[in-house]
Amino acid sequence: MKTFAKTLSAAALAAMGTSAWAADDLTLQLKWVTQAQFAGYYVALEEGFYEDEDLNVTIKPGGPDIAPVQVLLGGAADVMVDWLPSALAARENGAPIVNIAQPFKSSGLMLTCLKEHGIESPEDFPGHTLGTWFFGNELPLYSWMSKLGYATDGSEGGVTIQKINFNVDPLLQKQVECATTMTYNEYWQVIDAGLTEDDLVVFKYEDQGISTLEDGLYTTEENLADPEMVDKLTRFVRASMKGWKYAEENPDAAAEIVLDYDDTGAQTEAHQKRMMSEVAKLTAGSNGALDPADFDRTVDVLLSSGADPVITSKPEGAWTHEITDAALN
C-alpha cells in the first residue's frame, strides 16, 4: 500500500547548500482507509503545515486487516488515530498507549431506523432488532438500552441486539429494523440506496447522552518519556490542528486533497465532499485538547453498558495535555 510524505525536493535542498538539514521523520497510522474522516492530516501534508514544522510525515492508511495499536506498539508508527473505547480496552489489556490530542469533539455515531417499522421514539424499540457493530462499538447501544430498562436478549418487553458488519445491508434487507451508522458515511449509504430522509428515523448518540470519543491521537508512554519525540509530537499536533481548521473552513478543497491521496481510486468526489461537510461538524469546537468531561462520559458509558465490559475500572494515565499545552500555547 502506498504511503505519502511531503518532503523538500532534492533541488530545493541543494539550493539551500550545506546549511540544510533533514526534517524529522514521523509516521501516522490511520484507523481506516484514506477518506475525509482523516482530512486534517492530508491537508496538513499537502498545504505544507508539517513542512513548516520541520516534519517529514508519512501517513499510513488503515483497513479491515490493520490494527493501529499493533502498528504503533510494533514501532511502525509514532502516533495513531483510534476511538477511545478501543484504545482504553487496549490499555487495560497492557498496551501502554496515551491520548495526546482529540481533534474530534463530537461523536458521529447514531442509530438509523426504518420508519415503516413504526419506530418513532425510543419507546418503540421493544420487540425490534437493533443491529450494531461490535469490537467495542456496541457498548454505547447496550448502555442506552440499560438506561431505558430494556433487556437485550429478545425477551418480552426488550430488544434483540444483533451483530452486523460495517455496512447497511442488514437494514436494507430488513434483517434488522435499526442499524448503527455514522453521520458521515453509512447513513448516506442508506440514502444512496434509494431511501429518503422521510423514510428514516435517526437517533444521534450525542443527543441520547451515550456518545463516546472518536478519532483521537495516541502514542506510547515510551514516546512521551523521550524529550525529542515529545518535541516532534508537539509540532505534529500543532500542524495537524491547522490542517483540521483549514478543512473545516474549506470542506470542498479538503475533500479534493483527500481524493488526491486516495491510492485505491475507490472514493468519489461527491461522497468525499459530503463526508467532509459532516466531519467538519464533529471537529468543530475542538482546539485539539481532550476535554476531561468528555473522557469521563466515555468511561461512564463503557462501565454502565450492561454488556461484557471493554474496561472494568476507570483508567489512570490514559490521556495527557502535555502535548496540546505545548502545541497550542
**Residue ranges of the chain assigned to CATH 3.40.190.10:** 4-106+213-328, 109-208
Query: What are the tens digits of pLDDT across the range 240-261?
Result: 999 999 999 999 999 999 999 9
Cα 157 to chain centroid, rounded: 34
Residue 235 — φ and ψ, nearest 5°? -65, -35
At the fourth CATH level, which superfamily is domain 109-208? Periplasmic binding protein-like II (3.40.190.10)
pLDDT at 19: 39
pLDDT at 254: 98
- ∠ CA(285), CA(289), CA(291), 5° rounding? 75
Alpha-helical segments (H) within the chain:
10-16, 39-46, 49-52, 68-73, 84-92, 139-148, 169-172, 186-192, 205-208, 221-224, 227-249, 251-261, 269-283, 292-303, 322-328
- CB 50 within 8 Å of CB 57: yes
What sign results for the dihedral spanned by CA atoms 83, 87, 88, 93?
Answer: positive
pLDDT at 286: 97
Question: Residue 67's beta-bridge partner residues?
Answer: none
- Tell me the pTM: 0.89
For residues 149 and 206, give the distance between their C-alpha atoms in angstroms, rounded to a whole number.
Answer: 19
Tell me yes or no: is domain 4-106+213-328 CATH 3.40.190.10: yes
Contacts of 103 (CB under 8 A, 6+ apart): 40, 215, 216, 217, 240, 241, 244, 283, 286, 288
Amino acid at 223: N
Please give the average pLDDT of every successive group of 10 residues along the chain, which has 329 residues.
Answer: 42 42 94 97 98 98 93 98 93 96 97 96 97 84 90 94 93 97 95 96 94 97 98 98 98 98 93 97 97 95 77 94 96
pLDDT at 138: 86
Question: Residue 129's beta-bridge partner residues?
Answer: 160
- CB 217 within 8 Å of CB 99: yes
Instruction: Choose among 246, 137, 250, 116: nearest CA to 186.
Output: 137
Task: With H, G, I as helix, E, B as strand and everything else as coil, classify residue 210.
Answer: coil
- ∠ CA(162), CA(137), CA(42), 5° rounding? 135
Query: What are the tens digits of pLDDT across the range 260-317?
Result: 999 999 899 999 999 999 999 999 999 999 999 999 999 999 888 776 667 889 999 9
Instruction: Choose among 135, 27, 108, 83: nearest CA to 279.
Output: 108
What sign results for the dihedral spanned by CA atoms 112, 118, 120, 123?
Answer: negative
Q: 300: which 3 cell numbers?
A: 461512564
- CB 81 within 8 Å of CB 68: yes
- CB 16 within 8 Å of CB 232: no
For residues 152 and 157, give the distance between their C-alpha atoms in angstroms, rounded to a whole number.
Answer: 10
For residues 32 and 23, give the distance between their C-alpha atoms in angstroms, rounded to a whole number.
Answer: 27
Contacts of 99 (CB under 8 A, 6+ apart): 84, 87, 216, 217, 218, 290, 295, 318, 319, 320
